[in-house]
Homo-oligomer: A and B are copies of this chain.
Amino acid sequence: MPQKITIVIVGGVAGGASAATRARRMNESAEIILLEKDEHVSFANCGLPYYIGGEIAERQKLLVATAELLRTRFRIDVRANQECTKIDRGAKQLAVWDRLKQEDYELAYDKLILSPGASPLVPPMENADAPGVFTLRNLADADKIREHAVKTSARKAVVVGAGFIGLEMVEQFHRLELKVALAELQTQVLPPLDPEMSYPLEKALRDRDIQLYLGDGIAGIMTDERGNASGVKLQSGEAATGDLVVLGLGVRANVQLAKDAGLEIGATGGIAVNRFSQTSDPDIYAVGDAAEYPYGPTGKQQRVPLAGPANRAGRLAGEHAATGSSAEMPDVQGTAIVRAFDQAAGITGLSMKMARRLGFDPLSVTIAANHHAGYYPGAKQLALKLIFAKESGKILGAQCAGIEGVDKRIDVIATAMQMGATVRQLAGVDLCYAPPFGSAKDPVHMAAFSACNYLDGVDTFLESDADLEGRQVIDVRTPKEVSAKPLAGADHAVPIPVDELRQRLGELDPAKPTVVSCGVGIRAHAAARILRQNGFSDVQNLSGGALVREWAVAKRTTE
């Protein structure tokens, strides 16, 4: 029989509620106390933007596990509005502030699970607390934003930060028929992605007249005569006016409580834990946005403030605290996805820029292909970028942008990464195929085939944003395609259709560094192979063809 111990969990939602319920299932005898400083112990925080925009119509739907359910089904002593203010590790005792009664009390624990989450970052600036300035972290925040956006005469919203939540808020404000401005310090939306892969999403925003201020950070909040927010002052001096401002500038891990208790803080600012989610004090666990996780692509610990890892870590910590199980927290890959309008963009593992920053020697290929068989109605094009280690071929990351099927490709590659796979192994995955669902050669295969070609020296890929000056550029598309959309940033490209290439080799200089491009890279591969076998000593395939080139050049010129 499991021990009669007292497990106290500080913080509900994803990590804490998962820990509490798993602990109960593993240990009927334990006393399990869940302290939550806010009103709701568990709610769907990822659903908040959709509730604000009305896409999720009922607020009730967001309350995934009510206090009542946790009490009756799991016999958890749920205490909302209770804030843990101090951990006395020697006495194994907490100081708790009851926000309703406005009084302190002490609470003993045998095992303590910290799930304090993170707080929205708000930089020190003028009028940061003016009415009409919001951050979005919990239901109360969502209620306030919704109230302001729907019930006042608000006509324009300013969103600051083009990360996941920022983009979701832009879409939902637009859905509410507000004009929207979006400001982002980076020169691209969705900064975790490489610039060119973020462009389809950026274009989806521009097509809907979202005012974009890229490469421009927030300097302060502007207010009207009554002191209400009237927009955002940007570092460039520009002003983005609006009736409400939502700050989506990322989060700061809530580690003060842990720090004050002398628990070790990791290199990335989260609470340091081992594979059992134990902190430097083995009776204290940390999970969720405040903790660090083993990050697959680097093998190091880092913060990954996402719901998936929080849920899994919470569950494992609850189990370990309740019974001392041997189940370890697996690596996380930082897999994430966002939808804005009809566009989705997903990522797993490292981007190319991050891989370089971390000192990897990464290679990448980008392909574009239909999300299901092209001959079956409704096929939508997606772009898939695969990043891998030059020596080992190990997959380091992937990004996908498109309208349909983005999540599937990212999940397949994230799964392969979880198993430590190389691009060679990825080329062999046996995916399901029927015309409404995929292709016999899936985009995942096409990307992996290209990567294997790259490793084997069969084809070499040039990144889509490369400077093509001084190179012999051959555009192997048909004349009609070339005139409809010339290859961006390559006025000197020589148009020779792939099907004429063998006959027209005499027009080219085999000694010159040569780049071949087509629509998305498939014909260019055939062309590159012809050139390489006809005495051209330096041939590269422009990754992603004219399609991705256009995105890359568009991003290059905005920088």
| CB atoms of A47 and B373 under 8 A apart | yes
A74 to B452, CA, bound (A): 21
What CA separation (Å) do A526 and B65 show in the bound complex?
A: 14
CB-CB under 8 A from A390, the residues of chain B are none
Residues on B with C-beta less than 8 A from A306 are 433
Contact across chains for B498 and A430 when beta carbons are under 8 A apart: no
Query: Which residues of chain B are near A335, meaning CB under 8 Å?
Result: 430-433
The answer to whether B433 and A47 have CB atoms under 8 Å apart is: no
A118 at the B interface (CB under 8 A): no
Q: How far is the CA of A456 from the CA of B1 in the complex (A)?
A: 15
Is A105 an interface residue, CB under 8 A from the partner? Answer: no
CB closest chain-B residue, reference A523: B73
Segment 233-273 of A: residues with Cβ below 8 Å from B: none
Which size bracket describes the interface of A in this complex?
35 or more
Q: Does A327 reach chain B (CB closer than 8 Å)?
A: yes
Q: Considering the chains assembled together, what is the distance between the CA atoms of A50 and B372 in angstroms?
A: 14
Residues of the B chain whose Cβ atoms lie less than 8 Å from the Cβ of A429: 330, 411, 414-415, 418
Task: Return chain B residues, CB-CB under 8 Å to A92.
Answer: none
Task: Select from chain B the residue with minimum beta-carbon distance to A530.
Answer: B28
- CB of B312 within 8 A of CB of A445, answer yes
Asked whether A28 lies within 8 Å of B433 as measured between CB atoms, the reply is no
| Interface residues of A, Cβ cutoff 8 Å to B | 1-2, 14, 21, 24-29, 44, 46-47, 50, 55-57, 61-62, 64, 72-75, 164, 168, 296, 306-312, 315, 325, 327, 329-339, 344, 346-348, 373-377, 407-408, 410-412, 414-421, 424-425, 427-438, 440-441, 445, 449, 452, 456, 458, 498-499, 502, 523, 525-526, 529-530, 533-534
Instruction: Sample 19 A-B pairs with CB under 8 A, ordered by A number.
Output: A25-B529, A50-B376, A55-B376, A55-B377, A56-B377, A75-B502, A308-B440, A309-B430, A331-B430, A332-B430, A334-B430, A336-B433, A336-B434, A347-B432, A348-B430, A410-B432, A411-B431, A418-B421, A419-B425
Given pairs A47-B435, A296-B430, 8 additional interface contacts (CB within 8 A): A26-B529, A46-B440, A47-B373, A330-B429, A337-B434, A348-B430, A408-B408, A419-B420
